[in-house]
Amino acid sequence: METLSVLSVVPADVEYEGLAAPQQFMDFAIDGHLLRRTLRAGTDLAAIEQEATLLRADWPHAAIEQINRLTLAAPGEFKDGRVALLLCPVCGDVDCGTVSARIAIEADTVIWEDFGWQDGYTEEPPQPWLFELQRFTFDKTAYLSLMQRLSEQFTELLPPAQVEREGDRRSIKGWLRRRLKS
């Protein structure tokens, strides 16, 4: 039987050359270790240290989109179905280059595997040779619970107009109260 890993998110920041202040986001941790440090690169891939998730308070819509891709509720960013995990912290665009993976949801588990470096502007396949073969298997219930909590957290940060477009109508007074408390 395959050993299950535990996925969590932890507050983090990343410094990127040219930015005045570090970008704050929620980073993926597997069994308590940051994904960027857990992935074993066969070569020196310093770009991983500068990449970030889209789970950012200042990008709530992008965070929800990433969560939808992580749960396969939306297709991955790439034609081959792969999902971007770590992206450019400045723009969040896959064209800048991203750590991507294949995600599979099975009866009781969720699997992240086939990690590679990929961008959105070339037709080149991902570059999995940069990474040693790794596979992370998560309990499906725990994984989907985490994604649901994250989705709710970032939905709370959406401006009222976007919340209404998504069909989840909320009064502006409630939204303003929540924003003023933070």
Phi (first) and psi of residue 166, to 5 degrees: -80, 0
Indicate if the pLDDT at residue 170 is higher than 80: no
pLDDT per residue over 101-151, tens digit each?
Answer: 999 999 999 999 998 888 877 776 666 556 778 899 999 999 999 999 999
Domain coordinates in residue numbering, the chain: 7-181
Asked if 55 and 86 touch (Cβ cutoff 8 Å), the reply is: no
Q: Distance between CA atoms of 51 and 182, rounded to whole angstroms?
A: 26
Q: What is the three-class DSSP state of 30?
A: strand
Q: What is the three-class DSSP state of 114?
A: strand
Task: Tally the C-alpha atoms within 13 A of residue 168's C-alpha that lie toward its C-beta.
Answer: 13
CA-derived radius of gyration, the chain: 17
pLDDT per residue over 42-93, tens digit each?
Answer: 665 666 778 899 999 999 999 999 999 999 999 999 888 999 999 988 888 9
